[in-house]
């Protein structure tokens, strides 16, 4: 094919050629910049490619290697394959921009042409190094994701907002991070390539900053102008690589501190339909009565505690509803400790989000389903687990309760409302108690507990692993049954005194792993429930010694013990982590902890964690 003579001819060859060599060949120095004219070029569904290099949907997507895997040469090649695909798509999108916007300023088009040729270099460097590692381009999956997000751009401002300031900005994180990782993995050759690309990307992002400022409204901040230009499903989250956030590179590219701080705090989905989370700790009373309205004090407490749920349960691709939006200062404080919120929406926007957004799953703290939340459900599990459980019954009348207590040998009993949580409504009774709670309620002997803990499970669809045992969290509970704290430990038995540790190691853990999943499967077989399950349990002292009471109750919802487990996995997987609460006044004076709640906005309790 003859050499192109104009920028438009060159761009069309780069975009539409089925030859990789032609796509990566620089423009001749004699290339003429076409005179400005009206646009009208229609983007193809996909750029021209050799058949084996055509981007395809995410079916069969190759896994992205972790930093630990990059000591392996083939895994390094997989990483380079991923990056090479992104660079080639950038080359093609820059060619498309030259064709779609021939009336853009000459200096802008020259900048795009210069950037395109640098991206050609990057692609060649990756392909050459990949081949040295024994992998050919096209050997792994090639995603069209970047093309699908940018090819329908409608203006030069669209182009710089989507490509320069979004995907190329994310490369500031990727290139710097993986240059360091690969150098530490003993691959200075690849590290050097990434370092060169990193410095080029600073200039590419700078090109976007320059033109964003040229074209935006004077009254707009850089952040507001860019954010407004992005349209769903593209959002600022795509401008952050899945690597440490690189403040320095963004400053060198010319981004201001306001933009950098906004982006650093920003969380949203990266493209998949999000799950929707919200904290409704009054799910049990809501299940008991369709007319339930949370009293003001309980609603205020939920607003204080919901940050623990929002920081532990969702992933960064999800949405959480909050009664109080986190302040910028509290977001910054949490970020220093490795904690970020997902995309946040107002608590009252639930119905609006259901209408406007495609939600994958709704995952509140709990669904108000009385048949799954009742203490009667836990009683069924006791009989599936334990061949001779301690006596317990559901009492529909006071007469039934008195007869049941008189028939037993215990002097003290405990009555629990069928739909309650966190010890609410629990009453300790003696055999001759005259004042009994309002039925129905669960009645069982009062046992002197020495250790309370929860066994954490996740119920998934069979093809997604079915019922999984996640671990044990220790519960600290007051004498009247009120929750105080939860501790998650990677080695559950190690945190207990010797006698308790032996019982946990030799009896509890083997039985929980080997027998509980089958019992839970039986319990849930006629339901459609998927999600977290927490089985409360305890050790108690008897004349025969320390005994295990297998099932105290079951929580078919999230629990504080599960949140402690999730936070430990996020922040300190190999160390114990305790989740608790304190007053706002105590929080201001506390040391050695991480405050999940915000003392400047909380009214009752601040959730906190302590690691180690």
pLDDT in tens, 24-34: 999 998 889 88
pLDDT, position 323: 95
Q: What is the DSSP string of 167-225?
A: IHHHHHHHHHHHHHHHHHTT-HHHHHHHHHHHHHHHHHHHHHHHHHHHHS-TTS-HHHH
- Average pLDDT of the segment spanning 354-372: 92
| Mean pLDDT along residues 539-561 | 94
What pLDDT sits at residue 300?
A: 94
Structure tokens at 265: 């705090």
* 389 pLDDT more than 80: no
How many degrees, rounded to 5, is the angle at CA 563 between CA 561 and CA 569? Answer: 105
What's the whole-number average pLDDT of the chain?
91
Decide if domain 391-446 falls under CATH 3.30.1490.
Answer: yes
Per-residue pLDDT band for 317 (boundaries 50, 70, 90) equals confident
Residues 6+ apart with CB under 8 A from 547: 539, 540, 541
Whether the pLDDT of residue 285 is over 50: the answer is yes
Q: What is the pLDDT of residue 60?
A: 42
Residues 6+ away with beta carbon under 8 Å from 204:
115, 118, 164, 168
For the domain 67-265, what is the CATH code? 1.20.1260.10
Percent of the chain residues past pLDDT 70, beyond the cut: 97
Q: Would you tell me how many other CB atoms lie within 10 Å of the CB of residue 552?
A: 20
Mean pLDDT on 587-605:
93
pLDDT at 268: 61
Summarize the confidence of residues 535-554 as an average pLDDT: 94
- pLDDT the model gives residue 195: 96
Q: What is the pLDDT of residue 59?
A: 46
Q: Choose between 495 and 80: higher pLDDT.
A: 80
Say which range, 65-69, 102-106, 523-527, has the weakest mean pLDDT.
65-69
In degrees, to the nearest 5, what angle opens at C-alpha 356 toward C-alphas 340 and 259?
40
Asked if residue 495 has pLDDT above 50, the reply is yes
Find the angle CA(182)-CA(188)-CA(194) to the nearest 5 degrees: 65
- Inform me whether the pLDDT recorded for 61 exceeds 50: no
Residue 335 clears pLDDT 90, i.e. is over it: no
- Token code pair at residue 97: 């921009």
pLDDT of residue 272: 66
In the chain, which residues fall in CATH 1.20.1260.10? 67-265
Strand partners, 594: 609
Q: Does 193 have pLDDT greater than 80?
A: yes
Cα Rg of the chain (Å, integer)? 30
Residues of the chain with CATH 3.30.1490: 391-446
């Amino acid at each position: 094919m003859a050499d192109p003579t104009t920028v438009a001819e060159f761009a069309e060859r780069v975009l539409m050629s089925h030859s990789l060599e032609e796509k990566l060949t620089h423009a001749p120095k004699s290339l003429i910049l076409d005179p400005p004219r009206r646009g009208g070029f229609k983007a193809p569904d996909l750029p021209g490619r050799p058949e084996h290099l055509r981007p395809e949907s995410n079916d069969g997507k190759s896994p992205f290697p972790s930093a630990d895997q990059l000591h392996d040469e083939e895994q390094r090649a997989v990483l380079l394959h991923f990056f090479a695909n992104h660079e080639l798509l950038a080359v093609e999108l820059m060619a498309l921009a030259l064709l779609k916007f021939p009336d853009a300023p000459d200096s802008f088009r020259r900048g795009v042409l210069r950037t395109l040729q640098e991206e050609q270099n990057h692609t060649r460097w990756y392909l050459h190094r990949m081949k040295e590692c024994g992998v050919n381009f096209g050997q792994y999956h090639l995603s069209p994701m970047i093309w699908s997000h940018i090819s329908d751009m409608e203006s030069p401002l669209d182009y710089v907002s989507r490509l320069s300031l979004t995907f190329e900005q994310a490369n500031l994180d990727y290139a710097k991070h993986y240059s360091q990782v690969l150098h530490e993995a003993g691959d200075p050759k690849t590290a050097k390539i990434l370092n060169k690309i990193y410095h080029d990307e600073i200039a590419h992002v700078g090109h976007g900053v320059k033109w964003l400022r040229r074209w935006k409204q004077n009254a707009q901040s850089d952040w507001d102008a860019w954010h407004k230009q992005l349209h769903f499903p593209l959002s600022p989250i795509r401008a952050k690589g899945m690597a440490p956030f690189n403040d320095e590179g963004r400053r060198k590219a010319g981004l201001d501190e306001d933009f950098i701080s906004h982006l650093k705090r920003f969380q949203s989905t990266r493209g998949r339909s999000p799950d929707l989370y919200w904290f409704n700790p009054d799910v049990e009373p809501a299940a008991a009565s369709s007319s339930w309205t949370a009293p003001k004090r309980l609603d205020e407490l939920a607003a204080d505690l919901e940050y623990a749920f929002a920081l532990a349960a969702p992933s960064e691709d999800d949405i959480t509803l909050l009664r109080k939006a986190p302040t910028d200062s509290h977001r910054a404080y949490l970020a220093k400790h490795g904690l970020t919120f997902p995309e946040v929406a107002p608590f009252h926007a639930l119905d609006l989000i259901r209408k406007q957004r495609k939600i994958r799953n709704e995952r509140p703290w709990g669904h108000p389903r009385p048949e799954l939340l009742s203490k009667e459900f836990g009683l069924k599990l006791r009989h599936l687990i334990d061949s001779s459980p301690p006596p317990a019954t559901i009492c529909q009348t006071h007469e039934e309760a008195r007869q049941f207590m008189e028939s037993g040998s215990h002097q003290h009993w405990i009555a629990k409302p069928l739909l309650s949580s966190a010890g609410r409504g629990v009453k300790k009774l003696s055999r001759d108690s005259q004042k009994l709670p309002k039925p129905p309620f669960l009645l069982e002997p009062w046992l002197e507990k020495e250790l309370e803990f929860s066994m954490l499970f996740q119920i998934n669809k069979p093809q997604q692993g079915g019922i999984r045992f996640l671990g044990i969290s220790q519960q600290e509970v007051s004498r009247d049954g009120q929750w105080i704290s939860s501790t998650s430990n990677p080695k559950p038995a190690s945190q207990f005194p010797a006698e308790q540790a032996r019982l946990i190691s030799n009896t509890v853990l083997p039985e929980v792993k080997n027998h509980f999943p089958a019992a839970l499967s039986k319990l849930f077989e006629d339901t459609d429930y998927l999600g977290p399950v927490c089985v409360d349990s305890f050790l108690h002292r008897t004349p025969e010694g320390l005994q295990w009471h297998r099932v105290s109750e079951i929580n078919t919802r999230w629990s504080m013990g599960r949140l402690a487990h999730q936070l430990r996995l996020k922040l300190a997987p190999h160390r114990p982590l305790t989740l608790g609460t304190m007053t706002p006044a105590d929080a201001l004076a506390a040391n050695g902890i991480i405050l999940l709640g915000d003392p400047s906005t909380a009214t009752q309790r601040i959730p906190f964690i302590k690691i180690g």
